[in-house]
Amino acid sequence: MEILEVTPEVFDATFPNPIHIFNSGAFSALNESRFEKVYYLIFKDSKTRLGIIFGVRDNVLLSPFSATFGGFEFVSEDVKLYQIDAALQALLEWASAKQYSGIKIIPPPTFFKEDFLNKVANCMYRAGFETKNMELNYHFQTANLSDTYEQNIWYNARKNLKKANAFGLTFERLEADKGILAYEIIAQNRSERGFPLRLSWEQLVTTNTVIHMDFFLVKKATERIGAAIVYHMAPSIVRVIYWGDLPQFSECKTMNFLSYQLFKHYKEQGIKMMDIGHSTVDSVPNQGLCEFKESIGCSISLLNELYKKLD
């Protein structure tokens, strides 16, 4: 198996429909300047089989290097196990020859492409990759938003949704040029809770040039009290990047209202899966956040951080 180092443009031409948008060359190129080196790799024998994008930091190859998850891409979904094995062996030899000290890969949750990702997981295990962290990632299947949804969620979530509806809250999708109105609410939420906001508004605008985003507001009368920013990750999958409410309106149970309205909106748009994001850091759960997501009907998948030390 041969490894080719290519440009972001060639990578995207080779993999025009990535498993998720974080695996696109265009997205990765936005963050190249923050890393020592970025590689766009294609694995080829008689045909092109796989690809992966790595950033280098502290002499370790990272996929992702500027997002939540990365991992391998395929040209054809019926790629064989022995071809994945050969690609991994070529990767290890290539990385060792360049004297990198390790490789860290975080694949996406398996609902992005279950059969392929499970095959890759098996091959990586046999190639000596070890699990260093196991994050709990939450997702909602919009098919579950049925007439029995409220009966199926936790009692407290059902009660809070009913309370939110009693306040007459409204839900609004914003045009991109008004997206800063949602961002300001998210920023205020994070500031009041003492959590940093990783992306500035300017960075988000730049990211929006390669990732389609949706912006939403929740209002009580004319007051903005909650917001969400959502990435379109794949043809039938979106991911909530940021959402939050203002603590001074906690009695409105804004997040229960917002989550329900998002589920409803995306079901109507034909989206099958909403990735709500992980609620652990270095495998340690945020108990309240985990319970909230479970209470509103989310299912759980895993984000495994896989690492291989190189001799």
What percent of the chain stands above pLDDT 70? 100
Under the banding of pLDDT at 50, 70 and 90, the label for residue 45 is very high
Under the banding of pLDDT at 50, 70 and 90, the label for residue 148 is very high
How much of the chain is in helix, strand and coil states, percent to nearest 5? 40, 30, 30
Residues 163 and 283 in one domain: yes
Under the banding of pLDDT at 50, 70 and 90, the label for residue 311 is confident
Q: Is the pLDDT score of 34 beyond 90?
A: no
Task: Lowest mean pLDDT of 41-45, 95-99, 191-195, 239-243, name the range.
Answer: 191-195
pLDDT in tens, 12-23: 999 999 999 999
Residues 6+ apart with CB under 8 A from 162: none
Whether residue 299 is contained in a domain is answered as yes
| Helix (H/G/I), strand (E/B), else coil: 127 | coil
How many whole angstroms separate alpha carbon 296 and alpha carbon 304?
24
Predicted pLDDT of residue 248: 95
Choose the final residue of a domain: 128, 157, 187. Answer: 128
Whether residue 75 is contained in a domain is answered as yes
User: How many Å separate Cα 72 from the centre of its chain?
Assistant: 15
| Helix (H/G/I), strand (E/B), else coil: 7 | coil
Q: Is the pLDDT score of 216 beyond 90?
A: yes
Q: Which of 188, 248, 258, 253 is nearest to 217 (CA)?
A: 258
Residues 6+ apart with CB under 8 A from 169: 218, 219, 220, 225, 252, 254, 257
Residues 186 and 283 in one domain: yes
Residues 114 and 153 in one domain: no
Q: Which of 53, 48, 46 is nearest to 19 (CA)?
A: 53
Across 143-222, the runs of DSSP E, i.e. the strands, are 170-174, 213-220
Choose the final residue of a domain: 95, 128, 161. Answer: 128
Residues 27 and 108 in one domain: yes
Structure tokens at 161: 């949704």
Under the banding of pLDDT at 50, 70 and 90, the label for residue 193 is confident
Predicted pLDDT of residue 204: 96
Residues 124 and 205 in one domain: no
Residues 166 and 111 in one domain: no
How many whole angstroms separate alpha carbon 155 and alpha carbon 295?
8
Residues 113 and 197 in one domain: no
- Domain containing residue 98: CATH number: 3.40.630.30
Q: What is the mean pLDDT of residues 128-151?
A: 97
Number of domains in the chain: 2
Whether residue 309 is contained in a domain is answered as no
Residues 93 and 187 in one domain: no
Q: What is the mean pLDDT of residues 157-166?
A: 97
269 and 236 Cβ atoms separated by less than 8 Å: no
Under the banding of pLDDT at 50, 70 and 90, the label for residue 274 is very high
Residues 104 and 149 in one domain: no
pLDDT in tens, 105-118: 999 999 999 999 99
Structure tokens at 208: 């929006």
How many whole angstroms separate alpha carbon 106 and alpha carbon 306?
6
Whether residue 311 is contained in a domain is answered as no
Predicted pLDDT of residue 295: 98
Under the banding of pLDDT at 50, 70 and 90, the label for residue 48 is very high
Residues 171 and 258 in one domain: yes
Choose the final residue of a domain: 71, 105, 128. Answer: 128
Domain that holds residue 281: 138-303
Structure tokens at 134: 């196991």
Whether residue 30 is contained in a domain is answered as yes
How many whole angstroms separate alpha carbon 165 and alpha carbon 169?
6
What residues does 232 pair with on adjacent strands? Answer: 238
Residues 89 and 121 in one domain: yes
Under the banding of pLDDT at 50, 70 and 90, the label for residue 73 is very high
Predicted pLDDT of residue 194: 86
Whether residue 87 is contained in a domain is answered as yes
Whether residue 281 is contained in a domain is answered as yes
Whether residue 308 is contained in a domain is answered as no
pLDDT in tens, 230-268: 999 999 999 999 999 999 999 999 999 999 999 999 999
Predicted pLDDT of residue 56: 97
Under the banding of pLDDT at 50, 70 and 90, the label for residue 5 is very high
Burial code (b: 16+ CB inside 10 Å, e: under 16) for 141-176 equals ebeebeeebeeebeeebbebbeebeeeebebeebee
Under the banding of pLDDT at 50, 70 and 90, the label for residue 195 is confident
Residues 54 and 124 in one domain: yes
CB burial class (10 A; 0-12, 13-18, 19+) of residue 241?
buried
Q: What is the mean pLDDT of residues 266-280?
A: 97
Q: Is the pLDDT score of 201 beyond 90?
A: yes
How many whole angstroms separate alpha carbon 40 and alpha carbon 218?
40
CB burial class (10 A; 0-12, 13-18, 19+) of residue 278?
buried
